[in-house]
């Protein structure tokens, strides 16, 4: 295996391997890349791997010029969902010949293929798709004349400048992902410090989402949760650089019917015990020390973290590539040539860059370019409770509400879902939290007489409860567009919005996805999920919405 001649003089290079195994071949490719002074600036490896939860897994690397994405899916399905153009394929232990068409669909022009153990049917299928084999039938070159969709060119270093608006979880993660790729980033925040809006709570819970049909929110949250755990370890870990506890989360079943559905999920999904484990009532009660009449799900790697400390850890990782412009107040965006200008209320230019990332939650609707996004601010009040009035929990407990273990003598319980915009603490929301808390711990006297204390934040929520990740559509120019790829976009304007109650775990992977799109890297999620997160989905939905009756002229 000598890739050097093939990758020489390229800006980036992508390898696809159908058999990760013990990782030896992938490590050999990476070592060859490190040792070659003429190697591409970026190397991306995508490989099929056994023993992982279903879906795509982006594995953080020590060298930010490397990416590794492991796919836990059948080969045909993985190829159909892969957002990448591989330059080199290793085929090993492949079955059938149906993979040939989707493989050729994503292959880069001139891609090379190395195969071990192909049968005549497989070789013929690849030849029919444009692969030309050498005499021994083990190596081939992709010689199809079908046009390839070109990857965006790598930006010159002088153009790798971004303006990120919003210093919460979304914006901080964007800064970290872009700075790791060599971008110069200016972070603009209207407040004097990061994490002063929804990301400012004392505690956020991290846990996966389960469903029997493994739907889009479940798949997205699973991928994001696993990526966040890896990314946080690289930042210094929960309990280290990040304030919190990886103490586990116990999600109680709501009732016997919910418990039965959960048992069915456990039977069908066969989750690894360190990811999710269904506990019947006796085991759940023994772990919790409290009644758990219908059992519950244990997420051993879950826990809680202070979102502000996550933000600061991500921003610290940026080093000198990040410029902070805090206390900027309200701003407006204005296009000037190839750049975006961020202007303060007095007209002064706060920052400018060719690329802008909107990460300011529902506040993004104050900008003319994003005013039509269907985002809502959903009020949530968290109660801060003296630990002496509560049972001592060994882990996070949740059902309709959540309760964290005490830290510094304070436990957090909540949170409400309110439709109003009141920023002040109020007694009715506090009492709602206490009522749900008492049901959670099966104690009508828990937190008796707890004084009004806590915090109010506003979640940014889209109608489908999914985040918005990607290029911002130009609603005014969209016309009767029917496909995402045809929706007109604002040049250089991108969104990381709508994280609802899952910003803690969605933010790192969403930022990684956006950075991969900007850099032309293999995407860290299936293309069906990428499309589900595209901000332009709301343009298509508005065009397809049923129209009211046509009224005759009066």
pLDDT in tens, 8-18: 989 999 999 99
C-alpha to C-alpha distances, 2 to 10, 28, 257, 306, 333, nearest whole angstrom: 15, 10, 58, 47, 49
Peptide bond before 415: cis, by omega within 30 degrees of 0? yes
DSSP class of 59: E
Signed CA dihedral, 175, 53, 82, 466: sign only: negative
With the CA atoms of 406, 227, 379 and 253 taken in that order, what torsion angle do they form, in degrees rounded to the nearest 10?
Answer: -60
The neighbouring-strand residues paired with 471 are: 494
Half-sphere exposure of 5 (CA within 13 A, CB side): 4
Angle between helices 169-180 and 307-316 (to 10 degrees): 20
> Hey, is 462 helix, strand or coil?
coil
CB neighbour list of residue 257: distance below 8 Å, 6 or more residues apart: none
pLDDT at residue number 322: 99
Per the CB < 8 A criterion, the answer to whether 185 and 293 are in contact is: no
The answer to whether residues 97 and 163 touch, using CB atoms and an 8 Å cutoff, is no
User: To 10 degrees, what angle do helices 216-235 and 307-316 make?
Assistant: 60
> Among 186, 152, 148, 150, which Cα is nearest to 166's?
186
Residue 22 host element (H or E): none
pLDDT at 155: 72
4-142: what fold? Rossmann fold (3.40.50)
Query: Which fold does the domain 376-391+402-461 belong to in CATH?
Result: D-Amino Acid Oxidase; Chain A, domain 2 (3.30.9)
Domain segments of the chain as ranges = 4-142, 158-198+309-374+464-544, 376-391+402-461
CB burial class (10 A; 0-12, 13-18, 19+) of residue 245? middle
- pLDDT-flagged residues of the chain (< 50): 546-554
Q: Are strands 396-398 and 249-252 parallel, antiparallel or unpaired?
A: parallel
Q: What's the angle, vertex CA 164, arms to CA 158 and CA 165, rounded to 5?
A: 150
* Per-residue pLDDT at 549: 38
Sign of torsion over alpha carbons 27, 131, 154, 187: negative
Q: How big, in percent rounded to 5, are the helix, strand and coil portions of the chain?
A: 30, 25, 40
The pLDDT, as a whole number, for residue 554 is 27
Fold of 158-198+309-374+464-544: FAD/NAD(P)-binding domain (3.50.50)
Question: What digits encode the pLDDT tens for the residues 114-170?
Answer: 998 899 999 999 999 999 999 888 999 999 777 666 666 677 777 899 999 999 999
In the prediction, which pLDDT does 152 show?
67
DSSP secondary structure string for all residues of 499-543: -TT-HHHHHHHHHHHHHHHHHTPPPSS-HHHHHHH-TTHHHHHHH
Closest CA to 155 of 176, 183, 195, 130: 183
d(CA 262, CA 256): 10
Report how far residue 382's alpha carbon sits from residue 484's, in angstroms, rounded to the nearest whole number.
38
pLDDT of residue 544: 62
Q: How far apart are CA 199 and CA 544, in angstroms?
A: 35
What backbone phi and psi angles, to 5 degrees, belong to 234?
A: -65, -30
Three-state secondary-structure class, residue 326:
strand
pLDDT digits (tens, 9 = 90+) for 156-212: 777 899 999 999 999 999 999 999 999 999 999 999 999 999 999 999 999 999 999
The Cα 487–Cα 524 span in angstroms is 23
User: What Cα–Cα distance (Å) separates residue 238 from each residue in 96, 130, 200, 309, 409?
Assistant: 45, 50, 17, 10, 19
List 244's β-bridge partners, or say none. 305
Contact call for residues 134 and 102 (beta carbons, < 8 A): no
């Amino acid at each position: 295996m000598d890739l050097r001649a093939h990758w020489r003089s390229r800006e980036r290079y992508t390898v696809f391997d159908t058999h990760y195994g013990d990782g030896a071949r992938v490590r050999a490719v990476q070592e060859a890349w490190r040792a070659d002074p003429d190697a591409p600036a970026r190397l991306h490896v995508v490989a099929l791997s056994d023993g992982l939860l279903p879906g795509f897994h982006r594995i953080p690397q020590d060298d930010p010029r490397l990416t590794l994405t492991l796919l836990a899916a059948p080969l045909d399905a993985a190829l159909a969902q892969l957002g990448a153009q591989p330059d080199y394929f290793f085929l090993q232990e492949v079955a059938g010949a149906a993979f040939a068409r989707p493989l050729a669909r994503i292959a880069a022009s001139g891609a090379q293929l190395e195969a071990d153990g192909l049968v005549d049917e497989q070789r013929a299928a690849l030849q029919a798709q444009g692969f030309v084999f050498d005499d021994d039938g083990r190596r081939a070159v992709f010689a199809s004349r079908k046009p390839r969709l070109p990857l965006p060119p790598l930006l010159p270093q002088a153009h790798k400048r971004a303006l990120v608006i919003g210093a919460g979880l979304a914006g901080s993660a964007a800064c970290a992902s872009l700075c790791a790729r060599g971008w110069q980033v200016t972070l603009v925040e209207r407040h004097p410090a990061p994490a002063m809006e929804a990301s400012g709570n004392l505690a956020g819970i991290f846990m996966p989402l389960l469903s029997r049909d493994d739907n889009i929110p479940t798949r997205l949250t699973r991928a994001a949760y696993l990526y966040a755990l890896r990314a946080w370890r690289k930042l210094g870990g929960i309990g280290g650089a990040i304030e919190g506890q990886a103490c586990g989360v116990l999600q109680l079943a709501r009732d016997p019917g919910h418990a039965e559905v959960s048992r069915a999920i456990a039977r069908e999904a066969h989750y690894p015990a360190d990811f999710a484990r269904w506990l019947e009532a006796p085991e759940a009660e023994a772990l919790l020390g409290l009644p758990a009449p219908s059992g519950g799900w244990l997420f051993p790697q879950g826990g809680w973290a202070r979102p502000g400390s996550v933000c600061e850890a991500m921003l610290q990782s940026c080093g000198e590539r990040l410029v902070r412009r805090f206390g900027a107040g309200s701003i407006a965006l204005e296009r000037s040539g190839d750049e975006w200008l961020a202007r303060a209320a007095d007209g002064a230019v706060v920052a400018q860059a060719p690329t802008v990332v909107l990460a300011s939650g529902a506040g993004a609707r104050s900008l003319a370019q994003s005013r039509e996004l269907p985002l809502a601010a959903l009020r949530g009040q968290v109660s801060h409770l003296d630990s002496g009035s509560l049972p001592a929990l060994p882990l996070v407990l949740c059902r309709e509400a959540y309760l964290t273990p005490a830290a510094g003598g304070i436990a957090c319980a909540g949170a409400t879902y309110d439709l109003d915009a009141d920023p002040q603490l109020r007694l009715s929301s506090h009492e709602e939290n206490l009522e749900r808390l008492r049901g959670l711990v099966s104690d009508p006297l828990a937190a008796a007489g707890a004084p009004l204390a806590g915090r109010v934040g506003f979640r940014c929520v889209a109608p489908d409860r999914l985040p918005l990740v990607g290029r911002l559509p130009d609603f005014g120019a969209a016309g009767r567009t029917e496909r995402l790829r045809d929706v007109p976009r604002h040049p250089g304007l991108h969104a990381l919005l709508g994280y609802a109650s899952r910003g803690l775990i969605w933010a790192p992977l969403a930022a990684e996805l956006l950075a991969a799109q900007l850099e032309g890297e293999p995407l860290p999620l299936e293309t069906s999920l990428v499309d589900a997160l595209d901000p332009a989905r709301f343009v298509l939905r508005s065009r397809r919405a049923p129209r009211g009756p046509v009224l005759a002229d009066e």
